[in-house]
Amino acid sequence: MFSVILSTASRYLLPLMLIFSFFLLLRGHNEPGGGFVGGLVAAAAYALYLIANGVEEAKKLLKAEPIKLIAMGLLHAIISAFISVISGQDLMTGVWAKNEFPVIGKVGTPLLFDLGVYFLVLGIVTKIIFSLAEEDK
């Protein structure tokens, strides 16, 4: 069920959707969005690519093993929780950089935590989708 239109479209849609997912992640702190939904959108981008080009192509494109993405997400979240401990505050206290960064905005441990959620969700959904699609073979 190969479709040239979908395949070509997905090549252009994928980067757009990934940028959008990242945009959702970053704006989450002030406007609707956040790591969870960002991760879902990113996973949807890969899912679209998978439907258009097959699971092998999608896997190649993602490069990282989904299971490693899951682990990375958890690691980010846990590191963000312990940064405050190192600076002598209680566990999971938000620690923020003093200056704002261009584009990204305020940077602090909650953002790192959200990034962790983003990776984790991306990892989980791609893991499940890839495993299901692989079974078709």
Site string for other proteins, 67-106 (x = CB under 8 A): x--x--xx--xx--x---------xx-x-x---------x
| Interface positions, 20-59, toward other proteins (CB under 8 A) | 24, 28-37, 40-41, 43-44, 47-48, 51
41, 21 in Cβ contact below 8 A?
Answer: yes
Binding residues with other proteins: total (CB under 8 A): 50
CB of 54 to other proteins, least distance (A): 12
Pick between residue 22 and residue 36 the one whose CB is nearest to other proteins.
36
Binding other proteins (rule: CB under 8 A), the pick from 13, 20, 23, 108 is 108
| Residue whose C-alpha is closest to residue 38's, from 78, 73, 81, 79 | 73
3-state SS string over the chain?
CCCHHHHHHHHHHHHHHHHHHHHHHHHCCCCCCCHHHHHHHHHHHHHHHHHHHCHHHHHHHHCCCHHHHHHHHHHHHHHHHHHHHHCCCCCCCCCECCCCECCCECCEHHHHHHHHHHHHHHHHHHHHHHHHHHCCC
6 contributes a contact to other proteins by CB under 8 A? no
The residue ranges that bind other proteins (CB under 8 A) are 24, 28-37, 40-41, 43-44, 47-48, 51, 67, 70, 73-74, 77-78, 81, 91-92, 94, 96, 106, 108, 110-111, 113-114, 116-117, 120-121, 123-125, 127-129, 131-133, 135-136
